[in-house]
Amino acid sequence: MNARLRSIVHRRRLLIVLATEQRGEFALQAGALRRSLALADLAWRGYRRLKSSPVVMAVAAVALLTVGPGRLLSVAYRSGLLVQGLLRLAKLFRTLR
């Protein structure tokens, strides 16, 4: 029985070493995957934040539909709203990280 117990302990130690190696490999792969999905996660959190305040989305949609995208950008740029809006978006994305 002693030899059988030693073989079980030996096999258990080998499995622990194998599991540790696999855990390290998975951590490396997960890190690479996490970096590649960071932009998608940021976009998803921004979408959910916009979805939580439908008034902002409705105002942006109405402005886009009534004025048109090209004219809306030129008016916003001339009035300085584009710069303020971009700064707000940058601040929003920084808080989402």
pLDDT tens by residue, 21-55:
999 999 988 888 887 788 788 888 878 877 787 78
Who has greater pLDDT, 74 or 29? 29
Measured CA to CA in angstroms, residue 66 lies from 56, 61, 72, 83 at distances of 16, 9, 9, 21
Q: What is the mean pLDDT of residues 9-19?
A: 94
Task: Kindly report the pTM of this predicted structure.
Answer: 0.39
Top-ranked range on mean pLDDT: pick from 1-10, 58-67, 70-79: 1-10
Identity of the residue numbered 13: R
